[in-house]
Structure 1
């Protein structure tokens, strides 16, 4: 499966940080932490997302470098994209969407993507 980034329009969505940023662990046994191609630690943030119709979802978003946000804070993901993934284990196929942002900032902070 080809991995093609799907841009997410965040203008009609509200995001709240549900869990403070944590480094993404690649291997629970060794404690290996994920890094990007530049050697920066990849952090994982759990966000509550509400759309204009009041529907709410929880999503995990990865970003390089530690975002300066805290649990309970309204935030804005900058450059948010989704990636469809698929894997087969033990004859069962699983799929989903993973999310990545170039940065996550407190709501109301203006920054360039």
Structure 2
């Protein structure tokens, strides 16, 4: 399967950090951390995405480098894209969408700030 990035229009969504960023582990046995093509650690943040109709989805979003966000903050993922993935397993397949953003910043745009309404 060819992976083609699918741009995500985040302008009509509100994102809240649910779980702080953690390095993405690619091998549970060795503890190996995923890195990008430049050798930077890839971090995963769990975000709550809410649309204008109140529908909510939890999404894991990867970034190169640790984003300056904390649980409870309203955040903005920039240049977010989705990738469809598929894994054959016992004669069937599992599939899903993984998300990546250039950065995730607090709504105020200041590290450690934002989330105040």
Task: Flag whether TM exceeds 0.5 (same fold).
Answer: yes
In structure 2, the partner of 1:96 is 96
In structure 1, the partner of 2:73 is 73
TM-superposed CA distance for 1:108, in Å, is 3.4
Structure 1 segments unaligned to the other structure (5+ residues) = none
Counterpart-to-counterpart distance in 2, 1:64 and 1:95: 23
TM-score by length of 2: 0.91
For these two proteins, the number of residue pairs brought into alignment is 110
Counterpart-to-counterpart distance in 2, 1:71 and 1:6: 27
In structure 2, the partner of 1:52 is 52
Which aligned runs of 4 or more in structure 1 are off by greater than 6 angstroms? none
TM-superposed CA distance for 1:109, in Å, is 2.0
Counterpart-to-counterpart distance in 2, 1:47 and 1:98: 13
Counterpart-to-counterpart distance in 1, 2:40 and 2:94: 29
Deviations 1:25-45 (A, max 9, x none): 011110100000000000000
TM-superposed CA distance for 1:52, in Å, is 0.8
Structure 2 segments unaligned to the other structure (5+ residues) = 111-117
